[in-house]
Structure 1
Amino acid sequence: MPYDRSTRDRAHGRAHDREHDREHSRSRSRGRDRGQVAIEYLGFIPVLMLLAMAVIQTGLVAYAAQQAGTAARAGARAASLGMSAQQGCREAVSASLSGRTSCTEARGGDTVTVTATVRIPSIIPLWDPIGDAHKTATMPLDH
């Protein structure tokens, strides 16, 4: 039987056409999905922003507590030497928190106890419900 080249070419052509159609449909679906990842990232950005703000606010709380401890020790040291506890407190904290710091002293026998209060700053403007950091230090009076 003679070899019919046209039958083989037609069969090969149909297979080639089917493969071409599959690739074409895949590339069309890829084209439709092309911006999907960008849209998903845009939806995730608010979550990342809230997380970043929470981390920063937590850092501010820790920093205010550390500064309150420093202020209480400095105020107690100043009061034990006969100086103003309030002035010692304000000089001990950073400039950004000195206006947010107050100290009270209580003398009892041979000691002085100073309680420093630092109002915790908020990173959200016009919203300050965070509260205060309180630390206490006691020192013996210097005679």
Structure 2
Amino acid sequence: MSGGRGARATGRRVAVTGRRWAAKGRYRDRGQVTVEFLGMTPAILVTLVVLWQLVLVGYTFTLAGNAADEAARAGTAASPGARQGACQAAGTDTLSGAWGSGATVTCGTGGGMVTADVTVRVPILFPGTLSFPFDVTGHAGAVEEETD
């Protein structure tokens, strides 16, 4: 009898590696990777949604800070009587449609400074749809420029 490794010559396949064969010669654990992946799919999707939402929160902070910076710069460059309007217009124009629709821009002067506060709503998953019940505020200030 030949066959090495203790295989019997019975006409059937013998698992030399220690795996068990099904009746038609297929492994019993065939498709296991697919089942495990399908089981993990909800966890993967939830993780991606949470990461996307965190990106939106961070982007909203960035937009609010940038809008406040632009508003403060525009306020310093305007004449003293037009500072308020220029500041608010620059803060609103900087924000895109989805973030700008619910944003508020507050400008003030005092002590040789022009300050701007921009409040923006944080969207849920898609900008322009629903928003969280909390706001993100960006604050900036710049020194008043002397006008002649």
TM range (shorter): 0.7 to 0.9
| Cα RMSD for the two superposed structures | 2.8
Question: Structure 2 stretches of 5 or more lacking a match?
Answer: 2-6
SS at match of 1:37: helix
SS at match of 2:125: coil
SS at match of 2:132: coil
- Larger helix fraction of residues: 1
Instruction: List aligned pairs for 1:1-143, cutoff 5 A.
Output: 15-17=8-10, 20=12, 22-23=14-15, 26-28=20-22, 30-80=26-76, 81=78, 82-83=82-83, 84=85, 85-123=87-125, 128-129=131-132, 131-142=134-145, 143=147
Distance 1:97 1:127, change over 3 A: closer
Structure number, greater radius of gyration: 1
Contact 1:86 1:104 in 2 (8 A): yes
Distance 1:124 1:97 in 2: 11
* Cα distance, 1:96 vs structure 2: 2.6
Distance 1:52 1:20, change over 3 A: same
What's the TM-score, normalizing by structure 1? 0.74
The residue that corresponds to 1:5 in the other structure is none
Question: Structure 1 stretches of 5 or more lacking a match?
Answer: 1-7, 9-13
